Amino acid sequence: MANSIDVYRTELTPVDFLKRNACVLPDKVAVVHGGRRYTYRQFEQRANRLASALRRSGLRRHDRVAFLCPNIPAMLEAHYGVPMAGGVLVAINIRLSTDEIGYILKHSGATFVFVDAELENLIKPLDLSGLKVVRVDDTGAAGDPYEDFLGMGSPAPVDSWIEDEEEMLAINYTSGTTGRPKGVMYSHRGAYVNAIGEILETAMTWDTHYLWTLPMFHCNGWCFTWAVTAVGGTHHCLRKVDPAVIWDALDQAGITHYNGAPTVQIGVVNHPKAHRLDRQVTVTVAGAPPSPTLLGKLKELNFRPVHVYGLTETYGPHTVCEWHAEWDALPPEEQARLAARQGQGYANFDLVRIVDGNMNDVPRDGETLGEVVMRGNNVMLGYFEQPDATAEAFRGGWFHSGDIGVWHPDGYIELRDRKKDIIISGGENISTIEVEQCVARHPAVMECAVVAIPDEKWGERPKAFVTLKPGQNATEREIIDFCKQHIAHFKAPAAVAFGDLPKTSTGKVQKFVLREKEWKGQAKRIN
């Protein structure tokens, strides 16, 4: 029986996309980074070297390997070399503070950490005993510690240690409502299926030129790290997101696709270099709901916006606002309004539901609020070493997103608010509780509440409402600067107001009162 099973089944893993195209398209350019070019043959050989060097340096099956790097070739190679070696990739947000990075390294139990030279100062204060640290100078030349590490390995493929496609491939840390991030576990199967979904929904083909504006540390680049390779496309790496550089790439490098949160898209469409493109470019928008105004502007410039929605727990995008041909006849404003909805599950994913507190579907009337729930191949394995949190997220046999929305008569969903106190600022998750705890550490602060406020550039930013201790004084600037000393700068409040907090009779702060005041005049309580 075992032999017959082997004939019609192999375990799904996205690393096989690279192995296939190294054979089929060996001389095609796979990776572009400044003046560097790597063909698919070279790309695979570098990933093989990383895999064998990791094993020769002591990596054991399912050991965690952390990468703290921007969107450079080393980060892309990690998405293949680490799982090829049998390890689990932990791609860390480069915008986090030293304390937050230290927590992730410790919680994940990482045995290796590869760190970009520009980010090395973030880990220097940490206790790195028991960790093998490799600096990445991003030169691609001998003498670069990362290149020397690759030199320890062999360009030949390593023997696969994968026994089951549902083994862990990666852990992606996301901010939780308790402040400390949770480790979201991805499987080889889930990443493979999501990569195929990205190909289907963004219409990528062998002539795709994908620009890496989206961080690879976010949900493994929404699995585009594997999807672009699957179609034999070309990865264009980008150390930093700069709208001017993006426009240069659009005009000179033949870019066909890029992804990003609304704040990235806003920077692109409003840049002095912005102009209507000669050929259509597909841009996938997620991280926060895009405004109809932004979607309309993208279309004016000949971008094809693909509006998707998901969470770290769903490998990134899970739903898409699939376009209907009949919408073409509608006024532009109405087209943009329809396109701003979150839609429904990808072609190869399960449909999502909006449910009430008893897990019953809410009416599809576009008005009744409920929680968005998902299930299927593109839901995480669970939270790493947090079984209670996993059980809570999976109650009733569905993943609970914590996002509140409505269900329209045409089956599409639309977000309206957030159940969890999470602020999404420029595509980054910020826990209000984490910010509150930081503000509360200030010696003059007695009490604090943090809510999201609308922001034209970032979509949302945190605002702190502070009650000071009797006889104490503090300014807005002092509170903000204090926070920036203890948490990542992007998490610090953008504004601070002082006074008494609205409370219930039992003493619970009424955040909704604060939120309503800040969002007055806005159609939605999410931006």
Query: How much of the chain is in helix, strand and coil states, percent to nearest 5?
Result: 35, 25, 40
pLDDT band at 4 (very low <50, low <70, confident <90, very high): low
Identify the CATH number of the domain defined by range 423-518: 3.30.300.30
Backbone angles phi, psi at 241, to 5 degrees: -85, 115
Q: What is the 3-state secondary structure (H, E, C) of 287-316?
A: CCCCCHHHHHHHHHCCEEEEEEEEEHHHCE
Mean pLDDT of 232-245: 97
Look at residue 363 in the predicted model and tell me its pLDDT: 98
pLDDT band at 419 (very low <50, low <70, confident <90, very high): low
Look at residue 62 in the predicted model and tell me its pLDDT: 98
- What SS3 class is residue 470? coil
Contact 425, 458 (CB under 8 A): yes
| pLDDT tens track for 364-410 | 999 888 899 999 999 999 999 999 999 999 999 999 999 888 899 99
Mean pLDDT of 155-165: 97
DSSP letter, residue 379: S
Look at residue 417 in the predicted model and tell me its pLDDT: 64
Instruction: Tell me the percentage of the chain whose pLDDT exceeds 90.
Output: 76
| pLDDT tens track for 165-211 | 999 999 999 864 445 889 999 999 999 999 999 999 999 999 999 99
* Exposure class string for 125-161: b at 16+ Cβ within 10 A, else e: ebeeeebbebbbbbebeeebbbbebbeebeeeebebe
Q: Please state, rounded to an integer, the average pLDDT across all residues of the chain.
A: 92
Contact 348, 196 (CB under 8 A): yes
Mean pLDDT of 128-151: 97
pTM for this one? 0.84
Superfamily of structural domain 2-210+221-237 = ANL, N-terminal domain (3.40.50.12780)
Tokens of 523: 């159609």
Q: If you count them, how many residues does the chain have?
A: 527
Mean pLDDT of 159-165: 97
Tokens of 9: 């089944």
pLDDT band at 288 (very low <50, low <70, confident <90, very high): low
Q: Name the amino acid, one letter, at 505.
A: S
| pLDDT tens track for 249-258 | 999 999 999 9
Delimit the domains of the chain by residue range: 2-210+221-237, 346-418, 423-518
Q: Does position 264 have pLDDT exceeding 90, yes or no?
A: no
Q: Does position 125 have pLDDT exceeding 60, yes or no?
A: yes
| pLDDT tens track for 334-350 | 888 898 899 999 999 99
| pLDDT tens track for 319-377 | 999 999 999 999 987 888 898 899 999 999 999 999 999 999 999 999 888 899 999 99
Q: Please choose, from the candidates 451, 444, 497, 493, the residue with its C-alpha nearest in 3D space to the C-alpha of residue 473.
A: 444
- What SS3 class is residue 259? strand
| pLDDT tens track for 68-89 | 999 999 999 999 999 999 999 9
Q: From the centroid of its chain, how far is CA 323?
A: 24
* CATH entry, 346-418, from 1.10.287.70, 2.130.10.10, 3.30.530.20, 2.30.38.10: 2.30.38.10
Instruction: Tell me the percentage of the chain whose pLDDT exceeds 70.
Output: 94
Mean pLDDT of 30-53: 98
